[in-house]
Amino acid sequence: MNESYDYIVVGAGSAGSVLARRLSDDPGVSVCLIEAGGSDASPRVQVPAGTITLYKSRRFSWNYHSTPQAGLDGRSLHCPRGKALGGSASMNSMIYIRGFASDYERWAAAGCTGWGWQDVLPYFRRSEGNRLGQDPALHGQDGPLQVDRPRDPNPVSRWFVEAGRRLGLPVNTDFNGPSALGVGVYDLTQRDGQRLSSYRAFVAPVRGRANLTVLTGVEVDQLWMDGASVKGVQLQAPAGGAPRRLQARREVILCAGAIGSPNLLLRSGIGPRAQLEAAGVPVRVDLPSVGQNLQDHLDGLVTVRSRSPLTLGFSLGSAWQVLSAPLRYLFKRKGWLSTNYVEAGGFACTPLSEGEPDVQFHFVPGYRSHRGRLFEWGHGYAIHTCVLRPRSRGALRLDAQGRLALDYNFLSDPQDARVLIEGMRLARKILADPVFDGIRGPEMLPGPQVQSDEDFLANARAHAATVFHPAGTCKMGVDAMAVVAPDLRVHGVSGLRVADASIMPVLVSGNTNAPCIMIGEKAADLVRAAWGRTATA
């Protein structure tokens, strides 16, 4: 007999965990939260420094790879996505950035009624439990998601802030305040020095609720449909077993992310007719825009070698720091294991800016490999620079064999390259400040030989990568390219919504975890209102 719930939420990541928590606040409904990954109860997940071990993990990551990128010398880029309770919030760097108010005003101007800055700000405040005494008009104090400073920032991260200040960038103590411009130490989603994913913040405290079922290690194969109506989900059959179906008496909400959600729509026959037919997928709803509008932040690296064990790294000089790190973390929540690696950063305007920051910096007080390795012997420091509002658009599709094909189409718009080049020049100027003289070594990337625009462009094509912020593939709006309406219902389909980064019509100017949590908060109210329930308090 089929199992039945009022709501089925697919994906226990940043948005899905919030949505499951808020919907299950109503004891009169039943909620099933489905996560293809497993438990997050691992030191690799909960200890901040463990994040670097997760990116290529078979257990904790969907290790997607892009198609060869024409704009990046034909390279295929690795795209890790979280595969555990908490989703990508169980493997990210925990940075709490909302994006700019102007981002959401652009959403509203594009026809996404109810998604302007003043519309979404209450949802950011609802989720946040701010521990920093920041402006209560902009920050929530009592929400489940604790926002705090890193416990023990590396001194070199402070030097980065000072170097940025001397270059003319203001020191910013709240990147989610009135202005994001400037440099500073990032606020993090942590509690007691440990990672605080949306699952840990929202679902774990209420997992014992009788009306909330959490399934792990279960992958949704496709949507269970009757014509253009979604009745539930069909789970991937175990070896030698029969598929299992779960019924949604009210709605299914996809929260599987900017790659997972459109992929599931396509596998279920919702997408461009010609593409589905070529892949051998029966067409349920011809929706040409599914998988289109893919955006991500393209990243350029300036990385410098150093002999100083003050920076993070493995060497004989750092042996004591490394060996003592477990005890320091266990008893004080300090030391090397407390780092999220990108402790500091900021936002800056290049000469190409149109009045607001167009690049973001992520400073690492450790050596980032010029060869793309996770670990390199020795020390150094680095700045990652990303293009905040890329113009290039890619797509996600099924190929003729029905396999996922992910094409970022990076640098297809030449303006992105121009902004990246100017941003990397700024990063290099910050690292040239005398504050670093005592630990300075050779610049490994892009390298001192890279000076002209042509040199920088060649470097970007050879080395630029993604910051892991995919978005936009189930675009929200009312135009021909929209997949979901402003109430997040999928166009042409009943009983189905999408609520995650895929619905962003335009990528936000910054890290995407906090915006996805906001999307989950607002989605819960939209769903409850549609069924005559009171909005979450």
At 362 the pLDDT is 98
Residue percentage of the chain with pLDDT more than 70 = 99
Tell me 60's DSSP state: T
For residue 404, the one-letter residue type is L
> If one looks up domain 151-185+298-387+411-463 in CATH, what number appears?
3.30.410.40
Q: CB of 495 within 8 A of CB of 250?
A: yes
Which pTM value belongs to this model?
Answer: 0.97
Q: How many other CB atoms are found less than 10 A from the CB of residue 400?
A: 10
For residue 416, the one-letter residue type is D
Task: Give residue 323's pLDDT band: very low, low, confident or very high (50, 70, 90).
Answer: confident
More confident residue, 241 or 67: 67
List the one residue out of 364, 468, 375 whose CA is nearest residue 77.
Answer: 468
Task: Give residue 239's pLDDT band: very low, low, confident or very high (50, 70, 90).
Answer: confident
Active site residues: 469
Angstrom distance (rounded) from CA 485 to CA 526: 12
At 376 the pLDDT is 81
pLDDT for residue 375 is more than 90: no
At 2 the pLDDT is 56
Whether the CA torsion 30, 33, 38, 39 is positive or negative: it is negative
pLDDT per residue as tens digits for the range 186-229: 999 999 999 999 999 999 999 999 999 999 999 999 999 999 99
- Distant-in-sequence, close-in-space partners of 80: CB < 8 Å, separation ≥ 6: 54, 55, 56, 61, 62, 63, 64, 91, 468
At 289 the pLDDT is 97
What's the mean pLDDT when you consider all of the chain? 95
**pLDDT (average), residues 425-429:** 98
At 1 the pLDDT is 39
At 367 the pLDDT is 86
**pLDDT (average), residues 253-259:** 98
Domain-by-domain residue ranges, the chain?
1-146+196-294+470-537, 151-185+298-387+411-463
pLDDT for residue 10 is more than 70: yes
At 535 the pLDDT is 55
Angstrom distance (rounded) from CA 95 to CA 79: 18
pLDDT per residue as tens digits for the range 146-176: 999 999 999 999 999 999 999 999 999 999 9
| 156 phi-psi bin (left φ>0, alpha ψ -120 to 50, beta other) | alpha
Q: Which two tokens stand for residue 456?
A: 């920088």
Angstrom distance (rounded) from CA 486 to CA 137: 26
Q: How many other CB atoms are found less than 10 A from the CB of residue 206?
A: 14
pLDDT for residue 512 is more than 80: yes
At 92 the pLDDT is 96
Buried/exposed 29-59: b ≥16 CB within 10 Å, e otherwise: bbbbbbbbbeebebebbbbbbbbbbbeebee
Q: Facing residues of 286 across strands?
A: 271
At 242 the pLDDT is 81
At 537 the pLDDT is 45
pLDDT for residue 533 is more than 80: no
pLDDT for residue 285 is more than 80: yes
List the one residue out of 101, 81, 104 whose CA is nearest residue 16.
Answer: 81
Helix (H) or strand (E) holding 519: helix 513-530
Are 1-146+196-294+470-537 and 151-185+298-387+411-463 equal in CATH topology? no
Say which residue the tokens 């658009």 belong to: 393
At 438 the pLDDT is 96
For residue 230, the one-letter residue type is V
pLDDT for residue 410 is more than 70: yes
Angstrom distance (rounded) from CA 307 to CA 305: 7
Backbone φ and ψ for 369, nearest 5 degrees, come out as: -55, 130
Angstrom distance (rounded) from CA 168 to CA 132: 25
Helix (H) or strand (E) holding 39: none
Q: Which CATH topology does 1-146+196-294+470-537 take?
A: FAD/NAD(P)-binding domain (3.50.50)
At 316 the pLDDT is 85
At 534 the pLDDT is 62
Backbone φ and ψ for 68, nearest 5 degrees, come out as: -55, 130
pLDDT for residue 354 is more than 50: yes
pLDDT for residue 513 is more than 60: yes
- Distant-in-sequence, close-in-space partners of 476: CB < 8 Å, separation ≥ 6: 107, 112, 115, 482, 483, 484, 485, 486, 488, 503, 504, 505
Say which residue the tokens 């003319």 belong to: 168
Q: Which two tokens stand for residue 13?
A: 């990541």
Angstrom distance (rounded) from CA 294 to CA 495: 25
Helix (H) or strand (E) holding 65: strand 61-65
Angstrom distance (rounded) from CA 33 to CA 100: 31
CA 96 distance to own-chain centroid: 11
pLDDT for residue 536 is more than 60: no
DSSP string for 339-380? --S--EEEEE--TT-SSS--EEEEEESBPPPTT--S--BBEE
Rg over CA atoms, the chain = 23
pLDDT for residue 531 is more than 80: yes
Angstrom distance (rounded) from CA 336 to CA 434: 25
Segment among 21-30, 196-205, 309-318, 411-420 with least mean pLDDT? 309-318
Angstrom distance (rounded) from CA 76 to CA 69: 6
pLDDT per residue as tens digits for the range 191-203: 999 999 999 999 9
Task: Give residue 372's pLDDT band: very low, low, confident or very high (50, 70, 90).
Answer: confident
More confident residue, 360 or 321: 360
**Residue 167, class by beta-carbon neighbours within 10 Å (0-12 exposed, 13-18 middle, 19+ buried)?**
middle
Q: CB of 475 within 8 A of CB of 393?
A: no
